[in-house]
Amino acid sequence: LFIEKLVTKIWEPVTKEYLEAYNESMKFSAEELFELHSKNRMRYYQYPGVNMNMLPSAGCPYRFKNGVLAGCSMCDYQSEQAKAQGSLLALRKKNPELYAKAIKTAFQNSRGIGAEPNLFELISGYDTLDANEFPDEVYDQLYSNNELFKGKPFKYIVETRASSINSGKLNLLKSKLGNRLRVSIEFGVEVGDQWIRNHWLNKDILDKEIIDAVACIHEVGYKATGDVIIGIPGLTEQQSIKLFVDTVTWLDSLGIDDIVSLPLNRKEYTLQGLMYKQLKDNPRLKEVGIAQEEHTGLPWLFTVVEALYQAITARPELAKKINIAQLSSSLNSVKNDICYNQSRDCKCVENITSALQQFHIKKDISILEDLRNSFEKDQCYLEYKELLAKQENSGDIPETISLIGVEMAKILWPGDEDILNELEYECNNKGEGSVT
Ligand code: SF4
Ligand SMILES: [Zn+2]
């Protein structure tokens, strides 16, 4: 796939760092490596009612395939941890038990031994159900003696990929966590359109895997949570709004229990990061409002409100299922920029963000209605409408993607006809059978 080659290219420098750390660490004994990692502290974020415990690990197994880092194009939860992860990969290969112990020690170094639990505790890596990242030894270390917390949190949340969810894995998890625990399994849907998910986000997840995952999670008595992006990298505001609405209504029809909506943020080693770095002043993309200088690669906050509003108007029962994350750049493990309107410091950004936070808590659509009614008076909204008009000229979704892909290919692979042909072929054959 074109996108796979592109993401591999983006991650080249990080791959180098990861492999160097791995090779260097392989020279040490497992005990020496454990000693080295036993001082690590887990990254840990506190939200109201929920703590996010980002367990250290060897990294996302999906990202590291065939000896290179690639993974989902919009995701960069890893680049800043590449060295530590390369080294943990070496420890895991040498001694999975000490790898598991290093993970638990990092948790305890941050939270203390027998931590005070919050209501919800997200205890996760990248793909928790993948044995490459979390072999059995990790579960044994974390859960066998019930010693992570003083008492139990109300609910555990674990994150994984839909492709890793099956009854065998979930039952194994259940046997480790104990039968009576409430658990939510959270996984990335990102977008309901399978072609975009795979050919532009490089997710490598089929609709069928999502449908099966939800059913499987329910069979074992757990809750299913899907992550959905608001603002697909490079796509127009209107395209993104429609995709979000289609995605969450589809997920609702599958019986998903919760949806975490994530307004796209911009990190360095991502598709949107590359667009910003290389194409923010690109004349062809500026003409159609895709390149927007400083704003390139980020949706507008008006889009976030509109996407949520339209989804909940279409299906009012969605209001109680939808949560909003990534409204602040500080509660994130990797340096990032978050979405805004005309300028970052405009009053409307603050107003909308705090209203969205209110909505996240109260789940009351009138909060979104009031917000929308206030837009007409806002100078930024006029600019937004002009942008929407300009973006009308970018064509349909495969045409928009092709437009961006061609400009990127010119920079990354100048004169390479094969890669352009591959992109063109994929964009001309946007597959049938997708849900939206
Ligand atoms: S989104 Fe998830 S599966 Fe994809 S690269 Fe990031 S951590 Fe891995
Ligand atoms: Zn404004």
| pLDDT tens profile 381-412 | 999 999 999 999 999 999 999 999 999 999 99
Query: How does residue 179 score in pLDDT terms, banded at 50, 70 and 90?
Result: confident
Say if residues 143 and 176 touch (Cβ distance below 8 Å): yes
> Ligand 1: which residue has its CA nearest to atom 4?
72
- Cite the DSSP H helix spans in 26-179: 30-37, 82-94, 96-111, 136-143, 167-177
The strand pair at 120-124 and 68-69 is best described as: unpaired
- Computed on alpha carbons and rounded to an integer, the radius of gyration of the chain in Å comes to 22
| Residue 126 CB less than 6 A away from ligand 1 | yes
pLDDT at 222: 96
**Confidence check: pLDDT of 73 > 60:** yes
| Residue 77 CB less than 6 A away from ligand 1 | yes
**Residue 368, token pair as written in the block:** 């979104």
**Residue 300, token pair as written in the block:** 């507008």
Rounded Cα gap, residues 433 and 423, in angstroms: 20
Which atom of ligand 1 lies at the shortest distance from residue 203's CA? Answer: 4
Rounded Cα gap, residues 16 and 360, in angstroms: 40
Say if residues 325 and 262 touch (Cβ distance below 8 Å): yes
Residue with tokens 């349909």: 396
Rounded Cα gap, residues 112 and 217, in angstroms: 31
Say if residues 243 and 193 touch (Cβ distance below 8 Å): yes
Cβ-based neighbour number of residue 415 at 10 Å = 8
Which atom of ligand 1 lies at the shortest distance from residue 60's CA? Answer: 8
Say if residues 272 and 6 touch (Cβ distance below 8 Å): no
| Residue 205 CB less than 6 A away from ligand 1 | no
Rounded to the nearest integer, the mean pLDDT of the chain is: 94
Which DSSP string do the residues of 37-68 spell out, in sequence order?
HTT---EEEEETTEEEEE---S--TTTEETTE
**Confidence check: pLDDT of 435 > 50:** no
Return the top range by mean pLDDT from 38-47, 199-208, 325-334: 199-208
Indicate the residue type of 33: L
Distance 87 CA to ligand 1 centre (A): 20
* Residue 226 φ/ψ, nearest 5 degrees: -110, 135
pLDDT at 433: 41
| Residue 34 CB less than 6 A away from ligand 1 | no
Distance 245 CA to ligand 1 centre (A): 22
Query: How does residue 431 score in pLDDT terms, banded at 50, 70 and 90?
Result: low
Say if residues 158 and 123 touch (Cβ distance below 8 Å): yes
Read off the pTM. 0.95
Q: What is the mean pLDDT of residues 189-197?
A: 97
Question: What is the share, in percent, of the chain residues with pLDDT greater than 70?
Answer: 98
Contacts of 143 (CB under 8 A, 6+ apart): 176, 177, 178
Residue 116 is classified by DSSP as P
Residue with tokens 């112990």: 101
Query: How does residue 377 score in pLDDT terms, banded at 50, 70 and 90?
Result: confident
Helices (H) and strands (E) in the chain, counts: 18, 10
